[in-house]
């Protein structure tokens, strides 16, 4: 069984086919923000593949889709061994982020099926709604609801960046399912993902055995000033929301640099009103993304930002309010499962290293309810959330073969 291999041509083809949905012209990337028409089309395509594999499909109240493969098993009561990820993307996304984990899961099922291998536990492949958080915050919201971390009712009421209500968009694309939230707790959860950072490539390592995910803090800050004439308003008489937003963006960079270590800080979105060349901005809405592996350090960065905004508001005569969009503590994965990933990689002759994840993942939600770990494969140039994101077919084959081995191991183990 050790020599069983996934079909990397088939996996590569499916990645390419899914990437045609919402493809960004003249790039390899795609744009499938959660619950848009493109997301619906991508979902339907993946469900077709699940059905072709004879998987049982369950769609829950927040649109998470879980396909379960029972093989020849007649005992449907055994807990699922689950893999998967997400197929929504940021607006200017790559073709691998999330999609790889879902399609590699299907590839594992197909490999087992065509080789007549039917493990004891059913294997489930899920794709979870709105992992990116780019349209509806927080990120990982589908998996968060799946594990019971947020109520379905409050999730359906989340407003997107376009003012649309999540529940309405879910209905509109036909993915408000009947399966219960929270969903059945898996025996274990294992997710294959591209690293989205530079470490594996720099270390010339094929596989990351991910043992943790750093903490994530997202804040939306709204600054209310006063619009006025750009030519006639003396500098000392301005209530300039645009300037205040720029000050916050600069301060976020300063926090990250002064904190050092692995502290990162990003202002990825600034909306100015009325956004005109000759008008002092009356309003600015900006987002701040702060992350750290140490929650105490992250909390300190958050309070520095808060203090800065308070002082800025007084100095610039603007009103500043803030709203938390997402807040997740750092997560540690199950050591025995991380060891399983390491062992599988080594048994395939692949170099492997234990590492933390800089990006958020559905797996970090599953870690709340069951043994969980992740498998990383390298990202060229450390590039992600960019249409140019790239991982080679060979590297993907290696990662999917590790996933195959770990899933076989988990699905064959007797229940404790």
Q: Where along the sequence are the contacts to ligand GLV (CB under 6 A)?
A: 132, 139, 359-360
Task: Give which of ligand GLV, Mn ion, none residue 139 binds (C-beta under 5 to 8 Å, depending on kind).
Answer: ligand GLV
| CA pair distance 280, 389, nearest whole angstrom | 38
Between 101 and 122, CB nearer to Mn ion = 101
CB of 232 to ligand GLV, least distance (A): 43
Between 132 and 191, CB nearer to ligand GLV = 132
Considering only the stretches 93-101, 258-266, 292-300, 332-340, report the one whose residues sit in contact with Mn ion under the rule CB under 5 A: 93-101
Q: Is 178 helix (H, G, I), strand (E, B) or coil?
A: coil
Between 107 and 195, CB nearer to Mn ion = 195
Considering only the stretches 24-32, 94-102, 202-210, 252-260, report the one whose residues sit in contact with Mn ion under the rule CB under 5 A: 94-102
The reply to whether 139 sits near Mn ion by the rule CB under 5 A is no
| CA pair distance 193, 101, nearest whole angstrom | 5
- How far CA 261 is from CA of 109, 254, 258, in Å, comes to 41, 13, 9
CB of 207 to Mn ion, least distance (A): 17
Considering only the stretches 96-104, 119-127, 197-205, 369-377, report the one whose residues sit in contact with Mn ion under the rule CB under 5 A: 96-104
Q: What distance separates the 2 farthest-apart alpha carbons in the chain?
A: 79
- How far CA 269 is from CA of 77, 150, 266, 289, 316, in Å, comes to 46, 25, 9, 10, 21
Q: What letter does residue 281 receive in the DSSP assignment?
A: -
The torsion angles phi and psi of 229, rounded to 5 degrees, stand at -75, 130
CB of 324 to ligand GLV, least distance (A): 15
| CA pair distance 265, 85, nearest whole angstrom | 25
- Across the beta sheet with 215-224, the strand order is 264-273, 283-292, 215-224, 319-328
CB of 283 to ligand GLV, least distance (A): 26
The reply to whether 107 sits near Mn ion by the rule CB under 5 A is no
CB of 384 to ligand GLV, least distance (A): 8
Between 138 and 177, CB nearer to ligand GLV = 138
Distance between first and last Cα of the chain = 23
Between 58 and 90, CB nearer to ligand GLV = 90
Torsion sign, CA atoms 197, 200, 206, 212: negative
- Which residue is closest to ligand GLV by CB? 360
CB 47 within 8 A of CB 103: no
The reply to whether 97 sits near Mn ion by the rule CB under 5 A is yes
| CA pair distance 332, 330, nearest whole angstrom | 7
CB of 239 to Mn ion, least distance (A): 37
Task: Give which of Mn ion, ligand GLV, none residue 169 binds (C-beta under 5 to 8 Å, depending on kind).
Answer: none
Task: Give which of Mn ion, ligand GLV, none residue 101 binds (C-beta under 5 to 8 Å, depending on kind).
Answer: none
CB 320 within 8 A of CB 251: no
Between 218 and 251, CB nearer to Mn ion = 218
Between 280 and 359, CB nearer to ligand GLV = 359
CB of 132 to ligand GLV, least distance (A): 5
Q: What angle do CA 127, 399, 130 make, to 5 degrees?
A: 20
Between 14 and 239, CB nearer to Mn ion = 14
Between 177 and 197, CB nearer to ligand GLV = 197
CB of 265 to ligand GLV, least distance (A): 13
User: How would you label 252-267 residue by residue, b for 16+ Cβ within 10 Å and e otherwise?
Assistant: beebbeebeeebbbeb
Strand partners, 113: none
Site for Mn ion (CB under 5 A): which residue of 98, 208, 242, 378? Answer: 98
How crowded is residue 271: how many other Cβ atoms within 10 Å of its Cβ? 14
CB of 72 to ligand GLV, least distance (A): 37
């Amino acid at each position: 069984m050790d020599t069983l291999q996934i079909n990397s041509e088939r996996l590569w083809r499916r990645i390419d086919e899914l990437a045609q949905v919402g493809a960004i012209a003249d790039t390899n990337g795609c744009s499938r923000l959660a619950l848009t028409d493109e997301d619906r089309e991508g979902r339907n395509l993946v469900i077709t593949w699940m059905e072709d594999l004879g998987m049982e499909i369950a769609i829950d109240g927040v649109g998470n889709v879980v396909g379960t493969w029972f093989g020849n098993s007649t005992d449907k009561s055994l807990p699922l061994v689950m893999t998967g990820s997400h197929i929504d993307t940021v607006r200017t996304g790559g073709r691998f982020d999330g999609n790889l984990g879902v399609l590699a899961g299907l590839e594992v099922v197909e490999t087992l099926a065509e080789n007549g291998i039917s493990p004891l536990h059913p294997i489930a492949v899920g794709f979870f709604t709105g992992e990116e958080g780019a349209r509806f915050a927080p990120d990982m919201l589908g998996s968060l609801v799946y594990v019971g971390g947020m109520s379905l009712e409050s999730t359906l009421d989340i407003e997107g960046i376009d003012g649309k209500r999540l529940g309405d968009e879910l209905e509109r694309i036909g993915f408000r399912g009947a399966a219960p939230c929270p969903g059945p707790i898996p025996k274990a959860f294992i997710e294959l993902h591209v690293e989205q950072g530079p470490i594996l490539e720099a270390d010339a390592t094929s596989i990351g055995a991910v043992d943790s995910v750093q903490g994530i803090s997202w804040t939306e800050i709204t600054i209310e000033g006063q619009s006025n004439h750009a030519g006639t308003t003396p500098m000392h008489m301005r209530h300039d929301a645009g300037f205040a937003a720029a000050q916050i963006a600069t301060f976020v960079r300063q926090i990250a640099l002064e904190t050092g270590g692995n502290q990162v800080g990003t202002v990825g979105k600034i909306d100015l009103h009325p956004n005109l060349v000759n008008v002092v901005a009356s309003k600015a809405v900006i987002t701040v993304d702060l992350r750290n592996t140490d929650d105490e350090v992250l909390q300190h960065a958050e309070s520095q930002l808060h203090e800065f905004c308070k002082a800025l508001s007084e100095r610039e005569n603007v009103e500043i309010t803030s709203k938390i969009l997402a807040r997740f503590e750092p997560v540690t994965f199950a050591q025995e499962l991380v060891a399983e990933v390491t062992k599988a990689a080594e048994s395939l002759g692949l170099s492997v290293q234990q590492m933390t994840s800089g990006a958020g993942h559905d797996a970090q939600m599953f870690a709340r309810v069951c043994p969980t770990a992740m498998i990383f494969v390298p990202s060229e140039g450390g590039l992600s959330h960019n249409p140019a994101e790239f991982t080679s077919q060979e590297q993907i084959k290696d990662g999917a073969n590790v996933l195959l081995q770990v899933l076989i191991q988990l699905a064959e183990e007797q229940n404790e």
